[in-house]
Structure 1
Amino acid sequence: MDTFGLVVVIGVALFFTYTNGFHDSANAIATSVSTRALTPRAALAMAAVMNLAGAFFGNGVATTVGKDIITTPSGKQGLIVLFAALVGAIAWNLATWYFGLPSSSTHALFGGMVGAALAGASTVHWRGVLDKVVIPMIVSPIIGLVVGYLVMLAVLWIFRRSNPHKAKRGFRIAQTVSAAAMALGHGLQDAQKTMGIVVMSLTIADVQQGSGIPIWVKFVCAAMLSLGTYAGGWRIMRTLGRKIIELDPPQGFAAEATASSILYTTAYVFQAPISTTHVITSAIMGVGATKRVKAVRWGVAKNIVMGWFITMPAAGLVAAVIYWPTHLVLD
């Protein structure tokens, strides 16, 4: 067993989870903060707690990450592949956070895994990549856009005779619930992805047999995600909460309700690791389009979507570049 390599990989995995937390904190709270339903610090604290809770609500996504994307050799070689994959994902997270671009930590991780596996001559399960990564990456934003549009139409019809000021006050309260649901879904999806990586590293190092997730792995991954969430990602928050469209409380509620329902469905029914960034961003676009199509700043949206498509190749390229010098030095 390569104890030092295992400790390094787990440490880097936890740092990835931390960057995932502050990179994606906007997903859970940007709409609530932008509509003034919650103060920024109250929203971050709530999101951190719900992220922590969501991590304990299932194992399906972690199993998919650990088994269906790549298979690495045991021992040092496999740990190097995971190390390079994580560094590639972290590099993309930090770059997109710096530019305030809501990109997917999920697909940065998968891109890193595939890039490192190819560089290290490990097995890539292309069927799993297609079924569990590529297809959900394309379909989930479309569903978010359409369902967000329909949910907002339903809200407008149901409350068409309500006093606008009273309705907005009510939706500010409702947004507390929808934001909590969104944060819970984020914990359910994103904490499990790192759990899958940690379990892979334990198996590669011959510390664990089988795909079960030890309770300490669940706790430390959830805790690091929560800490990252509480740190906040203000650059991305401004993009989601203001630059795509100016949201009001009913729109914020509709977007969060749409995105959280998609997160739960994909995690429990399909065990598919999808991007919280993709679904909340597309839901915001769909909700905003009910006001009028031009109300959505489609130029900003176009830049975001372009970033989605280059996430996996970019993270994979960085991971492959990281793999070679690491392999030469350590092997």
Structure 2
Amino acid sequence: MGVTEPLLLAVVVATALAFDFTNGFHDTGNAMATSIATRALKPKAAVILSASLNMAGAFLSLTVAATIATGIVDSGVVTLAVVLAGLAGGIVWNLITWLFGLPSSSSHALIGGVVGAVLAAAGTEGVLWSGLTSKVLIPALVAPVVAILVGTIATWLVARITRDVPQDTNDKAFRWGQIGSASLVSLAHGTNDAQKSMGIILLALIAGGAVPADSGVPFWVIVSCALAMALGTYMGGWRVIRTLGKGLVELESRQGMAAETSSAAVILLSSHFGYSLSTTHVATGSILGSGVGMKGASVRWSVAGRMFAAWLITVPSAAIVGAVFYWIDTVIGGVAGSYTVFGLLIVIAFLIYLWSRRKPINSKNVNDNLGPRTGLRGVHRRVRLRAPSRGDEGQAQAPEKGAEAPPPPAAGGGGPDRERGSRGGGPRTGDYS
């Protein structure tokens, strides 16, 4: 390697760890959103627990890392500039979807960025299409469907078994169960997602000549990726947690436990076979299944539709960003081009962060009711209010018999929206970010 190449290799490795960091806070909600929403765990305790188990899971398997390093693109056409551009594409897409609270796939963002950079560098021959199809695209389509089915069945079974148990008893018992099931999802997430950055760093080390082409993942890479993901997980990613925990389904503790257990089972099975599965797709599918499987539950399909749309465009969008970054690199040329890409990535990330501060979401408000017009803070979610008719103007709306009365509307007007309960839809809300 030349005089400046070791520094460039260090920049690429640092960028890969930065992606692992964004993966951590982007995907925290996969494991902990339901536990936080049902208050089985306090928000800060949840992310600390998830971070610890994510780090532990990173040491349990390297099968997925091998898939990323050798099964998606031809390592012979991969250079440090290609890896850097691909990582930049994945990071930018992760940050954009986090900003809008959309739980899209970090895995597919990374793969899309790398594929886009390889296409820009070497054309279609640089992509192993059979591996991309069998290891990424097919699992992307199958995983959410399987998770919805498993989550639906698990929730139906739990609801049937506990149908005669008082609600308060169910809540207390299943909140303890949720701690165990959420921990299992975090461990499973570490066995799958941490491996992806390991595979990318291995590609960079091979491209930079630091290790031979048939090398395994060095131990220092495993440790670095585990720590980066754990740190990102600890940061929370509260926007995505809010969408998964409060935006899709109004969850009871038994639904949360069924969803988390279903997610863990599907993720661990995929890690065993080396599939680069999106834990986000699985977790979201399981949560939707928990709504479908619980009689009377309300699923907000409009929010799910936004998420599905983001899933469809994740790979091509990240690929476009990766290709653009590689084009910038080649236009400037040489090592200066790669450093320019790195600098642009820092600027874009900082601007997205500043934008996010306009409407911050954190551990203190992550469980607030969504949208500016719900007006239902502090009200037990089983209270149902009918929409006022014209003849009701100026009259107080009475709650159902035995239900806790709602608080008066806040100053400035605007009453509570109607909660549709078992008829579906849920309360109308504004921004889920």
Specify if TM > 0.5: yes
Asked if residue 261 in structure 1 is aligned to residue 261 in structure 2, the reply is no
Query: Structure 2 residue aligned with 1:248, among 239, 247, 252?
Result: 252
Structure 1 residue 293, shift from structure 2 partner: 7.6
User: Partner of 2:83: helix, strand, or coil?
Assistant: helix
Alpha-carbon deviation of 1:295? 1.2
TM superposition shift of 1:8: 1.1
Q: Are residue 204 (structure 1) and residue 227 (structure 2) matched?
A: no
CA contact (8 A) 1:63 1:211 kept: no
Higher helix share: 1
Displacement after TM superposition at 1:165 (Å): 1.6
1:92 equivalenced with 2:93 (yes/no): yes
* 2:46 aligned partner: 43
Q: Percent identity?
A: 44
C-alpha separation between the residues in 1 aligned to 2:329 and 2:16? 16
1:106-255 map, 5 Å: 106-121=107-122, 123-209=126-212, 210-255=214-259
Given that 2:102 and 2:307 are in contact with CA atoms closer than 8 Å, whether structure 1 keeps it comes out as yes
Deviation string, structure 1 residues 23-49 (Cα, Å, up to 9, x no partner): 111111110000000000000000000
Give 1:292 deviation, angstroms. Answer: 4.5
Q: Secondary structure at the match of 1:160?
A: coil
TM-score (norm 1): 0.97
**Which secondary structure state, in structure 2, belongs to the residue aligned with residue 305 of structure 1?**
helix
User: 2:35: which partner in 1?
Assistant: 32
Deviation by residue 1:52-84 (Cα, 9 ceiling, x = unmatched)? 00000011000000000012446xx61111100
Give the whole-Å Cα distance in 1 for the aligned partners of 2:169 and 2:47.
26
Query: Which amino acid in 1 is paired with 2:131?
Result: G
Task: Name the residue aligned to 1:81.
Answer: 82
Q: Which SS does the other structure have where 1:264 is aligned?
A: helix
Provide the rounded CA distance (Å) in 2 between the counterparts of 1:291 and 1:7. 50
CA contact (8 A) 1:147 1:283 kept: yes
Question: What CA distance in whole angstroms lies between the structure 1 residues aligned with 2:296 and 2:325?
Answer: 43
Q: Which residue of 1 aligns with 2:357?
A: none
The code of the aligned residue for 1:318 comes to V
Q: Is the 8 A contact 1:28 1:183 kept in 2?
A: yes
Q: Distance in 2 between matches of 1:125 and 1:145?
A: 30
Choose the corresponding residue for 2:13, options 10, 13, 35.
Answer: 10
The residue identity in structure 1 corresponding to 2:207 is: I
Q: 1:262, 1:291 → 2: CA distance?
A: 20
Q: Which runs of 5+ in 1 are unaligned?
A: none
Rounded to whole Å, the distance in 2 between the matches of 1:33 and 1:146 is 23
How far, CA to CA, are the matches of 1:91 and 1:271 in structure 2?
A: 26
Cα deviation for residue 215 of structure 1 reads 1.1
- Tell me the amino acid that sits aligned with residue 316 of structure 1: A
Shift of 1:156: 1.4
Contact 1:72–1:81 at 8 Å: present in 2 too? no
Alpha-carbon offset, residue 157 of structure 1: 2.0
- Residues 261 and 211 (structure 1), Cα distance of their counterparts in 2 relative to 1, 3 Å cut: farther
2:294 maps to 1:316:
no
More contact order relative to length (CA 8 Å, sep ≥ 6)? 1
Using the alignment, how far apart are the partners of 1:290 and 1:58 within structure 2? 32
- Taking only aligned residues, the RMSD between alpha carbons, in angstroms, comes to 1.3
Query: What is the SS of the residue equivalent to 2:200?
Result: helix
Whole-angstrom CA distance in 2 between matches of 1:133 and 1:70: 12
Q: Which runs of 5+ in 2 are unaligned?
A: 335-433
Distance in 2 between residues matched to 1:292 and 1:80, nearest whole Å:
53
Question: Following the alignment from structure 2 to structure 1, what is the Cα–Cα distance between the partners of residues 296 and 89?
Answer: 37
Q: Matched residues in 1 for 2:193 and 2:296: separation?
A: 32
